[in-house]
Amino acid sequence: MAKDNVDLICDISELAGLFEKSHSLSDFLQSAVSIVAYHMRSAVCSIYLYDEHTSLLTLAATQGLSPDAVGKVTLGLGEGIVGTAMKELRPICEGHGTESPNYKKIEGIHEENYEAFLAVPILLRGVMRVGVLVTQDPQPDYFHQNDVKALRAIASQLAVVIENAKLLMSLHEAEAKLSSPEPEPQSETPAFLKGVTASSGIVKGTAVVLDGHGYDVLTAPADDDAEEYSLDDFTLALQESIHQLTELQNKMEERLGDVASLIFNAHLLILKDDGFSGEMTRLIEQGTPADRAVTSVVNDYINLFSKSSNPRLQEKVLDVKDLGHRLLRNLQQHGEDQGDYAGQILVAKELLPSDVLKFAAQNVEGIVIVQGGITSHISILASSLRVPMVFVEYASVLDLDDGTLILIDANQGTLFLNPSPSVLSQYDTLMNREEAERKAVSPETFTRDGTKITLLSNVNLLSDIEAANENQAEGIGLYRSEFPFIVRDEFPSEEAQKLIYSKIFARMPEREVTLRTLDVGGDKKLPYHQHLDEANPFLGLRAIRFSLQNLPIFKQQLRAMLRSGADRPLRIMFPFISSVDDFESARDVVEECIKELNAENIPHNPNPEIGLMVELPAAVEIIDELSASADFLSIGTNDLIQYLLAVDRTNESVSNMYVCHHPAVLRAVYRIVNSAINNDVDVSVCGDMALNEEMLKFLVGIGIRKISIDPNQIPRIQSFLANLHTEEARRHARKLLRFGTLREVDAFLLETEQQLTTPQL
């Protein structure tokens, strides 16, 4: 019976579901080898798993060899054909396996009966050793190049599934240990933890663990240990706290001028408030020790704010706790600066925005937050300060000894505790490669055949422009203007917005800058603005709909944009456009603002380019009319995929259905690009689709020549494009557009990915 390699590649993608029905990893692996053996029509299929601690491969599952050998047969790196494939990270195909110089006879498993031998390493992300997938058959020269390609694709799928399987097992083991009434020693904490990314990046360092109790309560020293602090001591501590906050504010103003000063302004206002520090002073004058006065007033405020129904007041609990600890530290003369945190990873139950700024200013390598959760403030600040951060749910991490070696892969949301030399070596290789790519980045990007591709940067905060310039972005393809709105206590004024936008232009001289108008709603609500209690806010009053229904706010923002771009080319982009009518209504408001500024003799840009973000299926259906009306288009792939497929990418139950290579997505993007080209309208792509190399090849193949991405991804994307030929990309795109099912697309992409990432025989 003929082998059906294509069907095999397709069916193997269902192994993740198969694992859910298995009782253990060994059950899953046994099912996997049975499926592979059936489709390959081979007498034997086996999987060996690699242990990075012992550097040994162990037979984990087999069909065709002796079942008694499972768990007993082991091979070292370079030992036998299997060990050699693992050591050299390459497939080995032998027509006569017993004649191979690498062949090793293992007594009792009857392997010598099978001449044809094909071993393919199972690698995670192309570098991390997972195991080896083996097929064997009595007929010599039974396996060919197509079989090698098929097993490469299968091994790639297996790597991810096996990692997830191991992870699930470690999670269950950890949960059982953490729920045990008996305290577990620190060494029982899993060495590999899966968490949630708050700020991407890869970093290693030694642990510095903050108080495991976090900021849950504020307490002063016990009575028998307490010093008598006077009013003069308190006054000095108060002045020192004000000075420290002012210094932190000034230090970060230039770097994060759009948000940092607002955070510390809130702290300073509370600190100087008579009901806060004034009440502390009065208690001290009445005979209360200074430290007791601080804790009493702070805890009263904590109690008051935490019980408030106003979410903005609830958020102030963190500010008040921070101020209380700062006052106590200064009162006890512990001082603010504890030294430089270079080479160290901070582990804490909870962190405040000012803490993130403080530790970033002192060169902390990365941050792990345990249990307490991550606010938008913290995530945005960490990302803009380029401090990798992950959130994990394991309380036992707070029991780590200071100095424990930690490796954070915040790109994947994973944490390694006391990583093995093998893991460290693999990540060192990965980080060195990324560093080499950063150093090799060029001012302009060209494909292998010389086609110019413009790489622009997405910007959330002013500090992101630093990364954009370091990575030689050719401009800003998307400035998300909503973040200064989200972190404030009220709508920023026209003048405040103009200051921010002017700084953007000043830091990106002579380069393209696109400012997107306010995109709030959905999961980005403004707590200080009264909003509807919507059943489905993602389909509600958001983005351009919000702006058109709140014209005073919309006009303030547009006036600020027009004024900031007075002497520069200016591009204004509207989000969430679903009709030509909405686009024209928004453009009319721009014209009104221009007329007003003319009448007021205020310098401004009288001829901005006006464009829109294509992110709704409705916009795709009327793309020809929109292309005829707009000056430029930007394809917002994240939301476009979400709305085309009706899949919430944050919903774990359906997130696996959120796929950028769905035929409907590919055809919609092609339709948009084709319309823009036919109407001679500038078109770019913004979103994670452009970070996927196979999808990037598709985008270049259909005519995309401008991409806006996270600035830190520019070196990697530029390196990929430099090795891409546009004719190859066109052929790739044409093939993808012919497929009508995900099954066909998956099979094609798996095969091409393996050809790119695996050395050829």
Judgement on whether residues 122 and 257 belong to the same structural domain of the protein: no
pLDDT tens digits, 398-412 = 888 888 999 998 887
Alpha carbon 554 to chain centroid distance? 30
- Assigned domain for 592 exists: yes
Domain count, the chain: 4
Task: Give the pLDDT score at 534.
Answer: 56
Question: Is the confidence at residue 659, as pLDDT, over 80?
Answer: yes
pLDDT at 755: 58
Q: Six-digit token pair at 118?
A: 């094909």
What local confidence, expressed as pLDDT, does residue 337 receive?
A: 47
Residues 13 and 150 in one domain: yes
Phi and psi at 694, nearest 5°, equal -65, -40
pLDDT in tens, 472-491: 999 999 999 887 777 665 67
Residue 434: strand pairing partners: none
* Residue 174: predicted pLDDT: 40
Task: Report residue 26 as tokens.
Answer: 């060994």
3-state secondary structure of 463: coil
Examine the fold and report which residue of 387, 411, 434 is the final residue of a domain before the chain moves on.
434
For 505, other C-beta atoms within 10 Å of its C-beta total 20
- Residue of higher predicted confidence among 715 and 246: 715
CATH number of the structural domain spanning residue 344: 3.50.30.10
Residue, of 300 and 664, whose pLDDT is higher: 664
User: 272: alpha, beta or left, given left = phi > 0 and alpha = psi -120 to 50?
Assistant: alpha
CATH number at residue 322: 1.10.274.10
Out of 39-43, 179-183, 559-563, 632-636, which region has the weakest mean confidence (pLDDT)?
179-183
**In this structure, which long-range contacts are made by residues 552-555, counting pairs with CB atoms below 8 Å and at least 24 apart in sequence?**
553/491, 553/518, 554/517, 554/518, 554/586, 554/589, 555/589, 555/592, 555/593, 555/596
Q: Rounded to whole angstroms, how far apart are CA atoms 734 and 700?
A: 11
Distance CA(353)–CA(322), nearest Å, equals 9
Beta bridge partners of 368: 347, 390
Which pLDDT belongs to residue 634? Answer: 97
Tokens representing 494 are 């026209």
Q: Which residues contact 591 (CB under 8 A, 6 or more apart)?
A: none
CATH of the domain at 621: 3.20.20.60
Instruction: Dump pLDDT digits (tens) for 595-634.
Output: 999 999 999 999 999 999 999 999 999 999 999 999 999 9
Are 417 and 391 in a shared domain? Answer: yes
Could you tell me the pLDDT band of residue 191, with boundaries at 50, 70 and 90? confident
Report residue 161: phi and psi, to 5°. -65, -40
Please check whether residues 430 and 450 belong to one and the same domain.
Answer: no
Q: Is the Cβ–Cβ distance between 119 and 132 less than 8 Å?
A: yes
Within a domain: 724: yes
In a domain, 593, yes or no: yes
- 61 shares its domain with 109: yes
Confidence band, pLDDT 50/70/90 cuts, at residue 178: very low
| Cα distances (Å, whole numbers) of residue 421 to 50, 130, 145, 202 | 15, 15, 35, 16
| Maximum mean pLDDT: which of 162-166, 380-384, 517-521 | 517-521
Evaluate if residue 724 carries a pLDDT over 60: yes
- pLDDT of residue 252 exceeding 80, the answer is no
Q: How confident is the model at residue 1 (pLDDT cuts 50, 70, 90)?
A: low
Pick the more confident residue, 464 or 315: 464
Sorting pLDDT into bands at 50, 70 and 90, what band is 4? low
The answer to the question of residue 567 being in a domain is yes
- The 10 Å CB-count burial string (b at 16+, else e) for 64-96 is bbeeebbeebebeeebbbbbbbbbeeebbbbbe
Whether residue 309 is predicted with pLDDT greater than 60 in this model: the reply is yes
In this structure, which amino acid lies at residue 409?
D
* d(C-alpha 233, C-alpha 743), whole Å: 72
**Is 203 a member of any domain?**
yes
3-class secondary structure, 652: coil
- Whether 346 is covered by a domain: the verdict is yes
The rounded Cα 111 to chain-centroid distance in angstroms is 46
Kindly state whether residues 552 and 603 are assigned to the same domain.
yes
Residues 638, 640, 646, 649, Cα dihedral to 10°: 0
Residue 181 resides in a domain: no
Q: Write out the residue range of the structural domain in which residue 271 sits.
A: 231-331
CA neighbor of 354 nearest in space, from 244, 489, 488: 244
Per the DSSP assignment, residues forming a β-bridge with 133 are: 47, 120
- The domain boundary residue, chosen from 405, 434, 463: 434
Residues 67 and 133 in one domain: yes
Q: Are 537 and 523 in contact (CB under 8 A)?
A: yes
Residues 6+ apart with CB under 8 A from 225: none
pLDDT value, residue 94 = 93
- pLDDT tens digits for 544-598? 998 998 899 999 999 999 999 998 999 999 999 999 999 999 999 999 999 999 9
CB 286 within 8 A of CB 280: no
User: Residue 171: what pLDDT?
Assistant: 40
> Does pTM top 0.85 for this prediction?
no
Which two tokens mark 142?
């039974």
Residue 82: CB partners within 8 Å, gap ≥ 6? 48, 57, 75, 119, 132, 134
Same domain, 52 and 113: yes
Residues 434-450: tens digit of each pLDDT? 777 778 888 999 999 99
Q: Give the pLDDT confidence score for residue 211 in this predicted structure.
A: 55
Given this model, what pLDDT does residue 761 score? 37
Check pLDDT > 60 for residue 10: no
Q: Nearest Cα to 479, choosing from 496, 500, 493?
A: 500
CB 170 within 8 A of CB 192: yes
Beta partners for 344? 206
| Tokens standing for residue 166 | 């191991």
Each residue's pLDDT tens digit, 286-296: 999 998 999 99
Instruction: Say if residue 318 is in the same domain as residue 467.
Output: no
212: pLDDT confidence band, cut at 50, 70 and 90? Answer: very low
Q: Which helix (H) or strand (E) holds 482?
A: none
Please state, rounded to an integer, the average pLDDT across all residues of the chain: 82
In a domain, 219, yes or no: no
629 lies in the same domain as 653: yes
Residue 538, token pair as written in the block: 């993602």
Confidence of residue 758 (pLDDT cuts 50, 70, 90): very low
Last residue of a domain, one of 310, 331, 352: 331
User: Does residue 112 surpass a pLDDT of 60?
Assistant: yes
Q: Would you say 115 and 145 are in contact if contact means Cβ atoms under 8 Å apart?
A: no
Instruction: Please name the residues in contact with 473: beta carbons below 8 A apart, sequence gap of 6 or more.
Output: 455, 456, 457, 511, 711, 714
Distances (CA, A) of 118 to 8, 61, 159: 16, 16, 18
**Residues 421 and 452 both lie in one domain:** no
Q: How many CB atoms lie within 10 A of CB 257?
A: 17
Cα–Cα dist 668/661, whole Å: 11
Rounded CA Rg of the chain: 30
User: Which of 165, 158, 76, 71 is closest to 123 using CA atoms?
Assistant: 158
- Write the CATH number for 153: 3.30.450.40
Average pLDDT over residues 95-99: 90
In this predicted structure, the answer to whether residue 210 has a pLDDT above a threshold of 60 is yes
Q: What is the pLDDT of residue 374?
A: 56
Q: Do 311 and 417 sit in the same domain of this protein?
A: no
Query: CA 500, 502, 508: angle at the middle one, nearest 5?
Result: 105
> Tokens 């008694």 correspond to what residue?
68
